[in-house]
Structure 1
Amino acid sequence: MEVYNFSAGPATLPNSVIQQIKDDLPSYKNSGMSVMEISHRSELFEEIIQQAQQDLRGLLQIPDNYSVLFFQGGCTLQFSAAPLNLAIKYHRIALLDSGHWAIRAMEEAKKVKTTVDILASTKKNHYSRLPTLSDFPQDEYDYLHITTNNTIEGTAYKKIPQIGQTPVVADMSSNFLGQKYQITDFGLVMAGAQKNLGIAGLTVVIVKNDLFAHAKNLPSMLDYQLFSQKNSMFNTPPVFAIYVAGLVLRWLKQQGGVLEMQKRNQKKSNLLYDFLDESKLFTAPVKKADRSLTNVVFVTGDKSINSQLIAQAKDYGLLNIKGHRLVGGMRASLYNAMPYAGVEKLVSFLGKFEKDYWGKH
């Protein structure tokens, strides 16, 4: 039975990448060492990290005045690192509250003595739509923090909000490399790798160099300037995670790049959303204009039905469609490595489940 993993992260990887990992594990490039054993100071790893950086720059058209940094600690660590490095003029940032991860970013920024102003929130709408800027704020901010794709709530920005010349800092974890954005629209982009780029343990930061040039006396593991100078190797980096990311980036290039991924993700999500919109049992609660391409949230309104559905889906080879505990219901994450056939199978199963349900009621 073909199995499809709809997990929000750690998420599915391309089959060819998994096969390459398998081949490289015993002896990487005939070195006699596993890729998990090679030194981060070796020529073997220098080649891995440089190629990964080069491929990422090519895929996202990253200008030379931006640094590509590899961290550990997830975006949760970057919620502290970003204000420490960037919020040094006003010690004040703006934030659009689009859900759980935006609030987490606010909480962490406050812990490092940064004032956070929520300019708009859709909490009262249960985050079923995105917050927008209706008034131009008069206060001065070091940056505006947004979450481009809300993994839990199933919303995503297509057009990036702006406050004049204020830099935009984006948590792009769950649609990084799956939806086309212009890097120059951002001062900083952060993304955990475990959704579209590889495995847990690696976080990518793409940051404009002049934004962190004046930060001083920061903890070493949070210092963008230090990591830029040391090519992300101030300490031992997550060697294996960077290696896997390099394989995924190579795969992405072979598939046609980010724009091709966006087209595929649009096609996959359209298939599922079209079914949900026609359904009398399932509902997709997110405002249509704000729907995510990569994280599709849907509900029945009945917890017992949801539980039956999730259990039967697992038996059908459709794994990890249970919604986040904060939202409930179901969620299908359609990241780059999820094939169209997986979504077809999911829609077929949902249709059968609905037909059986109405046959009993």
Structure 2
Amino acid sequence: MKRVHNFSAGPATLPLEVLEQAQEELTEYQDTGRSIMELSHRSAHYEEIDKQAKDRLRSLLGLGDKFEIMFLQGGASSQFMMAPYNFLSKDQTADYIDTGRWSDKAIKEAKIFGNVHVPFSSSEGNYDRVPTQEELNFSDNPRYVHFTSNNTVAGTQFPTEPETNGVPLVCDASSDFLSRPIDVDKYGIIYAGAQKNVGPAGVTVVIIRKDFLEQADTENVPTILRYSTHVEKIFNTPPTFNVYMVNLVLKWIEDKGGLSWFKSFNEEKAQKVYDEIDADDFYRGAVEKESRSLMNATFRLPTEELEARFLEEAVEHDLYSLKGHRSVGGIRASIYNACSMGSVDALVDFMSDFRKRNG
């Protein structure tokens, strides 16, 4: 078996130990004579998987009993619609911090349901930074404040939660979910597509604070789009195999040492890449240093021709999926939780060698 160095932004690399366990259990799960994919979502075996995954999330994030957890479908993009559908009406305003492609999409959806105020936007700088606290100009009485904690396309990340003076945060955490500890008390909703840091594509983790959920106005919301529907019970058939995989990844995170361990691990990986970028002016970081992401390191080379050569030669060294997003170009190394230090070292060694030969 050959495993390459995978820097894909998503679907992203998964822990080898998790893949091996899934492989071992693929055709028969726990002496049932069936694959997990063949078991009813009402079965005791699947209900236990669902419970384990939710218990692990509660423990890792310190959620206690104040939050509900759902495993939904439709990707994080479905939450661009579902959150305002449940919590925003025509006579209300929500604040949306605009720091990238995905927050822009979320803003467009929210405008269908109510008023949207943008307290900050870095669109004129091609989303090359996130705001400081002083730059946030919130509206007088926002229903909630939405932000995208990490921006995969540009390669920026909020260093910590925006301070909203008690207004609930609604966060698209897709690309840095479970990469570091967070202050959960500040959040009304946390949602994340699994395919970057916590499992395969096809399931979206949605975490909602109970007292915030009580404020939802769902009179005109279709049943399946109400958060309360999915809190009460498993309403429709969930992506059972995907939730099974998420549960395995959560156990792997626990076994490694939890979110504090991964915070240090991810900081060390990112520092190695950024040190190589900053060694001289051959590589150029694509965003402001204070806004750099620990998950998605983006950079440019002196010419597009050199970038094309860099990507071509990288594959020859088993370094895959380093091409920047089509909307911005350049190079992007996605170094999520499951990206090993060995892969980062291989990338940095290649970058150093490529500079020596082409600088």
TM-score, scaled to structure 1: 0.95
TM-aligned CA deviation for residue 164 of structure 1: 2.2
| Residue 129 (structure 1) aligned with residue 129 (structure 2) | yes
Deviates most, 298-307 or 134-143: 134-143
Q: Give distance in 1, aligned partners of 2:79 and 2:92.
A: 16
1:91–1:328 CA distance, 2 compared to 1 (3 A)? same
Cα contact 1:122–1:130 (8 A) shared by 2: yes
TM-aligned CA deviation for residue 165 of structure 1: 2.1
- Structure 2 residue runs without a partner (length 5+): none
SS in 2 for 1:29: coil
1:221 counterpart (220, 224, 230)? 224
Q: Give distance in 2, aligned partners of 1:27 and 1:2.
A: 25
Q: 1:200: which partner in 2?
A: 201
Cα contact 1:94–1:144 (8 A) shared by 2: yes
Cα contact 1:11–1:194 (8 A) shared by 2: yes
TM-aligned CA deviation for residue 123 of structure 1: 1.5
Deviates most, 244-253 or 57-66: 57-66
- Structure 1 residue runs without a partner (length 5+): none
Offset from partner CA, 1:50-88 (integer Å, 9 cap, x none): 000000100000131211111100111001111111224
Q: Give distance in 2, aligned partners of 1:123 and 1:74.
A: 24
TM-aligned CA deviation for residue 184 of structure 1: 1.0
Q: Give distance in 2, aligned partners of 1:162 and 1:260.
A: 25
Q: 1:27: which partner in 2?
A: 28
1:26–1:137 CA distance, 2 compared to 1 (3 A)? closer
TM-score, scaled to structure 2: 0.96
Letter of the structure 1 residue corresponding to residue 125 of structure 2: N
SS in 1 for 2:202: coil
Q: 2:51: which partner in 1?
A: 50
Cα contact 1:97–1:131 (8 A) shared by 2: no
SS in 1 for 2:205: strand
Q: Give distance in 1, aligned partners of 2:32 and 2:252.
A: 23
1:228–1:290 CA distance, 2 compared to 1 (3 A)? same
Equivalence map 1:261-340=2 (5 Å):
261-340=262-341
Cα contact 1:89–1:142 (8 A) shared by 2: no
Identity of aligned residues (%): 39
Q: Give distance in 1, aligned partners of 2:312 and 2:137.
A: 48
SS in 2 for 1:188: strand
Offset from partner CA, 1:99-138 (integer Å, 9 cap, x none): 1011010011123x22111111111222111134536545
Q: Give distance in 1, aligned partners of 2:199 and 2:138.
A: 38
Q: Give distance in 2, aligned partners of 1:52 and 1:135.
A: 36
Offset from partner CA, 1:130-169 (integer Å, 9 cap, x none): 1345365453211111011111111111121123221111
